[in-house]
Structures are given as structure tokens and as C-alpha cells.
Amino acid sequence: MDRQREARISETLILEGVRAPSLLFRLFSWLAAAAASAAVAGAAGAFVLYVRYSQGLPSIPTAKDYRPPLLTEIRSSDGRLLAELFDERRKLIPYDQIPRRLIQAFVASEDKNFFDHHGFDPLATMRAAFQDAIGYHIRGASTLTQQTAKAILISAVGQKEATARKLSRKVRELILARRLEANLSKEEILYLYLNHVYLGHHAYGVRAAAENYFHAEPAQLSLAQMALIAGLPQAPSRYSPFAHPAAAKRRRAYVLRRMAEVGMISEAERAQASEEPIAVHSMEDVFHDRAPFFAEAVRRDVMARYGEERVLRGGLRIETTLDLDRQHDAQEAMLAGLTRVDRRQGYFGPLAHPSAAEAQSLMGRVSQAMGGRGLEPERYYIGLVARIEPRGQTAEIAVGNRTASLSIATTRWAHKPNPDLYYPTALIDRLQKAIAPGDVVLVRAQDRAKLLQGLDPVDRSLVPAQGSLVTLEQLPRLEGALVSVDPGSGYLSALIGGYDFDASEFDRATQSCRQPGSAFKPIVYSKAIDKLNWTMSTTLVDSPIVFDDPTTSKVWKPENYESDFKGDVPLRVALINSMNIPAIKTLAAVGPKDVAAWAHRLGITSKINEDLSIALGSSCVSLWELTRVYAIFDRLGQRVIPITIRKVTDRDGRLLEDHIAPDDAWASLEDRLAGGIASALTAPEQVVDPTTAFLTNHLLGEVVKMGTGAEASRLGKPAGGKTGTTNDSFDAWFMGFTRDLVTGVWVGYDSYAMPLGKYENGGRAALPIWLDYMQAALAGRPEQGWDPPKPDEIVWAWVDRHTGKPVAEGAPQSIKEPFRKGTEPEADNPLAPAKPVSSSGLFTMPN
């Protein structure tokens, strides 16, 4: 019955011109229905995936509001770069400043359909999904929009999560890419991409890459250079022009070929650019090369005050007080000074004494590093002592596949270290006393004419007449530190914290606490002038003295540096000759507690022991602290607060800090006016009575004219200062100043295992560094002296320079000295000697 009915229905349909559904048609209908159901299910699944993976995605920045992490710059007073601080080394560049061809290079090589698609390539994405499903890594699916989305994800959630090789990450990236396309124009997406993309060697964005590889702005790049940068996103390490120049060249050729294929450049342009050699500039490490200790001090400061996030990602501009020319002068002076002192210490031996096979291998590597070049004057090399002639006057030194001569004339300094030896008597007369064949040594190539010019006629005759010349060298084991401050503005002009920042980041200028020796004595004498009204002519007895220390049951018997005693001496003579016994008696008269408090008032923040030994500088201080003290003497009692930062602005140019002085030559007129107003509203703190400070200043000037610091008079400008040397010469100091610059220098070893030497002192080791620096820093700059801040309080009188007694004007050995009014000596009533000092105890001396 059912079959008959079915037949009738079929027949009716045929008659009416409609065919009954075939088996194939019904199968197709089923598949279509199934596909529709799958589509609905897929859409539902896609919606679920969208909801799931869109949670927590970063918001889409507009071009106006795009604020990626930016590096922070630290710059010198004249605007030169000192350091960059960053998580991602990025500098923003507006879209309209990016060269058109640089944009084309990225589009041609990374996403030729960029201007046609809607954020992703469906076929490539499906292929990537299939590869992931069967166990292959996802690859070949990212458009420029997706790469931009990926870069934004990295900044938001970190490198590891944003680059994980799994489908969920790809889905999140696709969602973000679609949002980018929906909210931004193609040009805005390119702006984000070209500022965000990682291009190797810490460079994020095309501006940072142009600086890294070519030391140029993007607009200055050639077509070949643009193509090289555009080829980096796929694999910045693999295509690094520094590490893999051949691979970088192949990748550049690919970019150029793609540009030509899509008509962005002509075939002739492609061919010409492809032939250019891979010429990139090594990245300059300005942090380590220019002023590392200063830059590190600034870094610590801003990190503490602004926080790591803002400093490393906030794009601050930190304008510092460092005078880069003076910093260079300081570094030159320190290097020369430490080398001089180090040579007087002696030769610490060769670098190695390898086997014959090891030596041959080493020289092969040296030869390879030289690249066929000869020995270049002033450059350092690793050499091998090949032969020493029997008399020990010359040696043949192999440097790679080259040879050079070493003469005894330039090597006499290389005696074995012995701190008890006097340097002139320790000089060697034969090279065998320092080196032996097979030794690996550090040498420096020399220009013959320059070398001979520095030798006396006898030594000159010992230098071989032919061939290359080298001198024996060693890296100083000594350390040194220097602090230089403009006392008017407080600007820290130069800072050196050690010989080599790479070897040790420990800052010996600010972080090291060392005994100042006699450099502490001006603090003691200034307190006596202030508290006891002592004068230049106050008599002190320089005679043996013994102190008992009840806490240790030990006896202290201090001596003068020269181990002799002068009897009655005026205060002026005691200070300029740095005599120990008068300084101790002065401290006893003032009181250790008062002197310790006075030192803290002057700027010493380190703990000061309240005992008589501090008269000789037994309590450690930092060079930074002591420089502040001498700046007060320079400024006639006004406190000088050294600063390292002139100005800080944020990424938008908003002012965060402003410490610019009104006489800042590198500041704008607006900034100088603002500095002048601030200065007028903030009176400097008068720490020391002006007359006391002037008298102390005058005494320090006498030290430079005729005392232990007399070498400083070669500066040829009004100056004051004081040497400092500790027991056994572990520390050597010179603290000195002119009207416009206060500079402190310290020299010594980090550890106390070895002293500088029996005959080293502040005047011999530290002062020459100070002098070399100050001569360069103040070259061509006139310097004024100091006038009494309160002339009515000062009386000038003629006294005998040796006794301090009043004499007639023009008398033999007479000198005109300042006195506080009412304390000047009179011919019929000279000042009485200082009262005897009790010595009942070393640490319990009464005030």
C-alpha cells in the first residue's frame, strides 16, 4: 500500500515537471544540514573561545595614547649621553618621520597583503592550526597586525606567556589583531608596529635599531640599511649583522628582492643595494666608556626616589651636573698618576709562563687578532719574551708574528715590590731581574721619536736604533678616587670611584671609608680658631709626648712624619708642615668631643672616635664627605651641598626636578632665571663664622705656597689645600681648591695587606693627580683669590714666618698675616704660648 502511494506521488511530480529527490540529492541535503549544524556549533564554539580568551587582553591604544615602555637617558651638563636605563631600549618616532621606503621594506618582507586583509590571513591561520594539531610548531601565520598584537601582549603579560607555542596564545593574538583592525587605521597599526617590534641587541623599534646598527636616525638610512633592519623581525639573533653578517646579507637580499617583485623599487636599485657590504657600527657602551661611577651613582639615586618601573620604562630625561670634558681630564690624570705610583711600587711579575706549545698557540691568537697590522703606537699588546741579550740591556719581544725591542732604559722601574725600599735606590740595571725568556708580558708599542724625547742622553743610547719598540707595562693594582665640585653651584663636575669600573663597581669616592691622615687637621685647627680664638701666631710646643690608654693599657707615643721635633712653633708653621704633635695638643686643648661635633657640623657623616688620635685622621671618612668640608673653607663658611642632577623631565617634557644654577652656561635663559629666583629665595647656610673660615682658608693657602702641598703652587692660581698620609702610607690624600673648583684625591690599595711604601705620601702620590686635573680643568680660566667677608674684623700684621712674633714691615723672614681684630700680636705684648695640655688619658681627655 505504501509503495503504491509513493509511486503515485512520484508520478504526479514528474507530470508537473518536478523530479523526485534522488539518492545523491538527499545525501547532499544531509551533508548541508550537517554542515549548517557544524557551522552553528562552530560559531557557538568560536563565541565560547572568544569569551574565554578575550578575558584580560590589554586595551587597544590609539596612536595618540600609545605609551610603550621608553628608555631613560642620563646626560651630561652639555647634553651628551652618559647612560641609558631600560627594560626595552625604545625611542618613539612619529609615523610621518619614518621613511616611506623603510615602511615598504617591512611590508614587502613581512606582510605583502597588509593593506588588503582584515588583520589575519585565514588560510595561513588554518594551516598553522592544523600543524599545531598534529604536533608541529605554529609558524608562517602572522601578519603585521598580528605581530603588533603579539608585541602588545609581550609588554602586557611578559615574553614567556605572550610567545608560548600553543593555540590558546594564537587565539588571543587573533582577537587582539581584529580589535586593532577595528579601531585603528593601517597607518596607525604600522606606527605601533614600527615603534614596538624587537630588532635585536636590545633595540625595540626602528629608531633604536637605526642608532644601534648605524649610529643614525631612520631618515638618514640608505636603502640597503633599511632592508637590513626590515629583515630582522623574523630572527633577530640569527640575522644579527654583528654576529652573523653573511646571514644578515642573505636576509637583506630577500627583503630587497621582495621589494622589487612588488614594484616598490627598481631592479637597478635592488642590484645596487644588494652589492653594498654589511657595514655596521659597534654599539657604543656609553655607560662604561664615559663616566661609569658617576652614572651608577645617579642610577642608584633615581631608582631610590622614582622606583624601578618609572626609571626603566618611563622615558625620563635626567640632565646631570657632570662636565664631560672635566671628567675626561680627571680620568687622564688618574690613569697617569696611578701608573706613576704603581711603577714605584715595583713589578708584580709576568702574566704567565706557559709551555712552548701554549706560547705558540697564544702568539697565533694574538697574530690573528692583529689581522696583519703592525704594532700601533700607544696600543697595548700581549707579548712573549723571546730572548734577552746577555748584558740584560735589551730583550726581543714577540707580539703575534711581529717582533719588537724592549730596553732597560724604559724598564728600570721593574724591581720586585718592597714597601721599605726608596724608589731611586731600587731601580734595576739588567732585564733579567724582572723578566725571563718564555714570560708572557703586557707591553705597549711606542713611537720612537716620542720615546727618545722622554729619556736622558745615557738611557737614550741604550735604545736599539732599528725596529719596533715596546715598553713593559702592568695594570695598576692601586686604586684611586677623585671628587670635583663647583663650590658656587654645588655641581659635581667629575667623579672617579676607582681604576676600572668593569673590574670593581665599588665606588671609592662615595662608598669607601678611609683614614684621612693629616687631611683632617684643618678641621681641628679651625675649631681652635673658632672656639679658643687661636691665631696664626699661637705658639705650640712640638716636643715628645706620651699618652696612656686606660682602656687597652697601652702607651701611645706619636711622632712627626719626619721623626724629629722643632720645639716652639706658631700654629701656621705647625699646619703648613703637617706636624703631628702640635695637632694633637691642639685637639686636646679644644676637646675631642667638640672636634667630633665640629666635624659633623662641617659635613662628616661617618662616626668620629672621640679620642686624641683623630687629630691625625684616625677616624675614617669618605672622599665625598671630606670634599664637602673643604668646600666650606673655600666658600668662607657657607655650606655647599654637592648635587649630581640639574633637571629631570618625564616623557612628555613635564618638569619633575629643577636644580639649575643661575650661572649654568648650558641652561636656557628661562631655566637660569628660574634658578636665580630660587637662589635668591634660599639663603646659603653659614656653617662656620666667616672670619674663622677666612683664617682657615688663608692657612690652607699657606700650605700650598710653602708647605707640604707646595707642588700645587704650580697651578699658577690662588689655591688652598692639605695633604694627608696615614700610618705606613696605606692612604694618600690631597684636598685642594681654587675659588671655582674644589677637588679631593685619594690613592691606596683596597685592602691593608700592602702599604703604598715607606716613602709615599699625599704630596707624592695624590697631589700630582690633583695638579694634572686642575691644570686641565682650569686651563685659560682666570681665578680670583679670597677677600675677608667681614673686613672690619680682620687686621693684617707683619710677623716672623718661623716664630710668629711681630716684626717690622720688610724685616728679614717677615710675612704679612691676617688676625681676628683684637688678637693680633703687638711688639711689646706678643701672644703667650698655648697653655700646657694635660695628658691624663688618651680617650678621656677633658674638654
Q: Could you write out the DSSP letters of every residue in 159-181?
A: HHHHT-SSHHHHHHHHHHHHHHH
Q: What is the pLDDT of residue 753?
A: 84
Q: At which residue does the C-alpha cell 593574538 appear?
A: 173
Whether the pLDDT of residue 272 is over 80: the answer is yes
Least-confidence region, from 127-131, 604-608, 637-641, 834-838: 834-838
Least-confidence region, from 19-23, 401-405, 599-603, 613-617: 19-23
**Residue 707 and residue 151: Cα distance in Å, rounded?**
67
820 beta partners: 794
**Residue 597 and residue 288: Cα distance in Å, rounded?**
39
DSSP string, 531-562: HH---TT-EEEE----EEETTTTEEE----TT
Do 771 and 704 touch, CB atoms closer than 8 A?
Answer: no
Longest Cα–Cα distance in the chain: 160
pLDDT tens track for 196-214: 999 999 999 999 999 999 9
Mean pLDDT calculated for residue range 137-162:
74
Mean pLDDT calculated for residue range 501-524:
96
- For 91, phi then psi, to 5°, come to -130, 125
Q: What is the pLDDT of residue 451?
A: 95
Number of Cβ within 10 Å of residue 794's Cβ equals: 19
- Classify the C-alpha dihedral 459-464-465-470 as positive or negative: negative
**Residue 357 and residue 2: Cα distance in Å, rounded?**
105
Q: What is the pLDDT of residue 837?
A: 41
Q: In one letter, which amino acid is 78?
A: D
- For 525, phi then psi, to 5°, come to -70, -35
Number of Cβ within 10 Å of residue 560's Cβ equals: 18
Q: What is the CA radius of gyration of the chain?
A: 39
Look at residue 248 and give its three-state secondary structure: helix
Whether the pLDDT of residue 140 is over 60: the answer is no
Whether the pLDDT of residue 171 is over 90: the answer is no
Mean pLDDT calculated for residue range 409-435:
94
**Residue 405 and residue 403: Cα distance in Å, rounded?**
7
Q: What is the pLDDT of residue 3?
A: 44
Q: At which residue does the C-alpha cell 693599657 appear?
A: 553
* Short-list 797, 786, 794, 509, CA closest to 626: 509
The confidence band for 401, taking pLDDT boundaries of 50, 70 and 90, is very high
**Residue 584 and residue 587: Cα distance in Å, rounded?**
5
Q: At which residue does the C-alpha cell 625595540 appear?
A: 204
- Classify the C-alpha dihedral 689-690-691-697 as positive or negative: positive
**Residue 391 and residue 312: Cα distance in Å, rounded?**
62
Residues in the chain: 847
Question: CB-based burial of residue 282 (10 Å sphere; 0-12 exposed, 13-18 middle, 19+ buried)?
Answer: exposed
Of 44 and 339, which is predicted with more confidence? Answer: 339
Number of Cβ within 10 Å of residue 576's Cβ equals: 23
DSSP strands (E only) in 33-176: 72-75, 81-85, 89-90
**Residue 287 and residue 294: Cα distance in Å, rounded?**
9
**Residue 705 and residue 714: Cα distance in Å, rounded?**
9
Give me the helices (H) in 290-371, please.
292-306, 308-313, 324-345, 356-370
570 beta partners: 539
Q: What is the pLDDT of residue 12?
A: 36
Mean pLDDT calculated for residue range 334-353:
96
Select the highest-mean-pLDDT range: 160-174, 553-567, 765-779.
765-779
Within 8 A by CB and 6+ apart from 660, the residues are: 646, 647, 667, 671, 672, 674, 675
**Residue 230 and residue 236: Cα distance in Å, rounded?**
10
Residue 103 has, within 13 A of its CA and on its CB side, a CA count of: 18
Whether the pLDDT of residue 646 is over 60: the answer is yes
pLDDT tens track for 376-390: 999 999 999 999 999
Cα distances (angstroms) measured from residue 606 to each of 590, 593, 609, 624: 20, 15, 10, 11
The confidence band for 129, taking pLDDT boundaries of 50, 70 and 90, is low
Residue 418 has, within 13 A of its CA and on its CB side, a CA count of: 12
- The cell numbers describing 704, all together, are 700650598
* Rounded (10°) angle between helices 186-196 and 144-157: 50
Of 510 and 757, which is predicted with more confidence? Answer: 510
- For 314, phi then psi, to 5°, come to -95, -5
Give me the helices (H) in 668-738, please.
669-681, 690-706
Whether the pLDDT of residue 21 is over 80: the answer is no
Mean model confidence pLDDT for the chain: 88
Report how far Cα 744 is from the mean position of its chain's Cα atoms. 19
Q: What is the pLDDT of residue 116?
A: 87
Whether the pLDDT of residue 267 is over 90: the answer is yes
Give me the helices (H) in 606-689, please.
623-634, 669-681
**Residue 396 and residue 625: Cα distance in Å, rounded?**
49
Whether the pLDDT of residue 808 is over 50: the answer is yes
Mean pLDDT calculated for residue range 339-343:
95
Q: At which residue does the C-alpha cell 639573533 appear?
A: 237
pLDDT tens track for 436-482: 999 999 999 999 999 999 899 999 999 999 999 999 999 999 999 99
Q: What is the pLDDT of residue 378?
A: 94
**Residue 646 and residue 672: Cα distance in Å, rounded?**
11
pLDDT tens track for 296-331: 999 999 999 999 999 999 999 999 999 999 999 999
- What is the rounded end-to-end Cα distance, in angstroms, of the chain? 136
547 beta partners: 556
Mean pLDDT calculated for residue range 647-670:
94
The confidence band for 517, taking pLDDT boundaries of 50, 70 and 90, is very high
Question: CB-based burial of residue 564 (10 Å sphere; 0-12 exposed, 13-18 middle, 19+ buried)?
Answer: exposed
Mean pLDDT calculated for residue range 177-194:
91
Cα distances (angstroms) measured from residue 156 to each of 143, 163, 628, 779: 20, 12, 46, 53
**Residue 207 and residue 199: Cα distance in Å, rounded?**
10
pLDDT tens track for 29-76: 445 444 444 444 444 555 555 555 666 677 777 778 888 999 999 999
